[in-house]
Structure 1
């Protein structure tokens, strides 16, 4: 049943994409919107496919993905232990809750000038901003997962003389793992958004965002801008699909279980 449901959802997704493609194509071809503002979708897709053979463009995409992976990896390395600590020790959670709630709403893009001043331009600034934005979904999903752990299982281990660390490793961490995975998937999308947005707003270095920013300032560059957006959306779709597949493989006993977005 689960496989049938996934196939149906995939089919509906493809149908929705085809309808959106057809609508954009029709609007542009009919002249409802000037082609300089909205080129035909077929031209945009053709340009996106053409870029697959452009080595400088692919080098930029590689740079974006490298910053994405570094930022997401650092976020997970920081957020998972911190989430386990906050979820397991109420005193620590109460002590830092005000600081966490103060920092969480700060938009990462607003920190670009400050981080650039502290770290300089380049990959370090991009990775720092990606890490900051990506920490929160993993952190709060980890805390939430700890709170959802079966208390009976924890009490049983304690009754047999297991210590706090053993309970964490044997019960809480395995039970929290699906929530952590969901948080990582959310953060992966956030990290990609920040990677591209930081490159666009900073205007220096290399990457997919730099390609979009340069195309925006070029004469008649709308097609290249939209082709870059297609690449960004495709990367996000592939990354999300790969992480969903990994979740199903690693945690087959919790197919409908999801963490809460931060």
Structure 2
């Protein structure tokens, strides 16, 4: 990593790499710092992207857990959906965008839905894996206590599968970021993905790389937080 960082700085300055195609790393970081203190950048580009990612992740997380619980509870329904879950990521999700536009209109909603659709399956599968790993004796004990359905889920099932669900949520967040950024890059007129696309089309190289760096640091930051959560959870267990 140190060698790569040195090359990104020294390569353009020494002429080894065309400085127009790839500016020095220090210039990119300086431009990213400037963008992060500009209110317009937050209002039109970064803010909408963060909101879309947050809502897409929330939909994927809540919907994935609920759907996973339903599929686990009703075996016939699970047998129907299992093949689709296996091939889901081979389906071009962005092909659904015209349908989403017809249903939800043009704007933030289709971007959020695409991000959620991209992330939800990882939560469903991790929830199912966790539920399948619960010992049968635990399920029998829960039934013998005659708990309500809500208490059964919140006090028995969810605490038993939290480790697996957190792993699925980590993947869902990554997929939500990818889905939102890609949607904005191709289909939107605002957001950080659109900012990078616009900078690329208009040869604003510094802005383009600065946007990419902001996305990179954001993705690394949230993945670090999830990794920290997993480590703390492991120590408690």
Asked if Structure 1 and Structure 2 have the same fold, meaning a TM-score greater than 0.5 normalized by the shorter chain, the answer is yes
Q: Paired residue for 2:20?
A: 36
Q: What is the alpha-carbon distance in structure 2 between the residues aligned to residue 55 and residue 169 of structure 1?
A: 42
Paired residues in the alignment total 235
Unaligned runs of 5+ in 2: none
> Counting helix residues as a fraction of each chain, which structure ranks higher?
2
For structure 1, which segment, 177-186 or 100-109, has the greater mean C-alpha deviation from structure 2 after superposition?
A: 100-109
Are the aligned partners of 1:57 and 1:211 in contact in 2 as well (CA < 8 Å)? no
Q: How far has the Cα of 1:233 moved from its partner? A: 0.7
Relative to the length of structure 1, the TM-score reads 0.81
Q: Paired residue for 2:99?
A: 114
Relative to the length of structure 2, the TM-score reads 0.88
Q: How far has the Cα of 1:161 moved from its partner? A: 5.2
Unaligned runs of 5+ in 1: 1-15, 255-262
Are the aligned partners of 1:203 and 1:213 in contact in 2 as well (CA < 8 Å)? no
Q: Paired residue for 1:234?
A: 217
The question of 1:62 aligning with 2:51 is answered no
Q: Paired residue for 1:49?
A: 33
Q: Paired residue for 1:3?
A: none
Q: What is the alpha-carbon distance in structure 2 between the residues aligned to residue 240 and residue 186 of structure 1?
A: 9
Q: What is the alpha-carbon distance in structure 1 between the residues aligned to residue 89 and residue 8 of structure 2?
A: 37
Distance 1:52 1:113, change over 3 A: same
SS at match of 2:20: coil
Q: How far has the Cα of 1:241 moved from its partner? A: 2.1
Q: What is the alpha-carbon distance in structure 1 between the residues aligned to residue 103 and residue 115 of structure 2?
A: 15
Spell out, residue by residue over 1:210-249, the C-alpha distance to the aligned partner (whole angstroms, 9 max, x if none). 1111111223x12211110000011111222223333444
Q: 2:9 aligns with which of 6, 15, 25?
A: 25
Q: Paired residue for 2:165?
A: 180
Q: 1:98 aligns with which of 76, 83, 97?
A: 83
Q: How far has the Cα of 1:75 moved from its partner? A: 1.4
Are the aligned partners of 2:52 and 2:111 in contact in 1 as well (CA < 8 Å)? yes
Q: What are the residue-to-residue correspondences of 1:1-262 with 2, within 5 Å?
A: 16=1, 18-59=2-43, 60-101=45-86, 103-158=88-143, 160=144, 162=146, 165=149, 168-204=153-189, 206-219=190-203, 221-249=204-232, 252-254=235-237
**Aligned Cα RMSD in Å?**
2.2
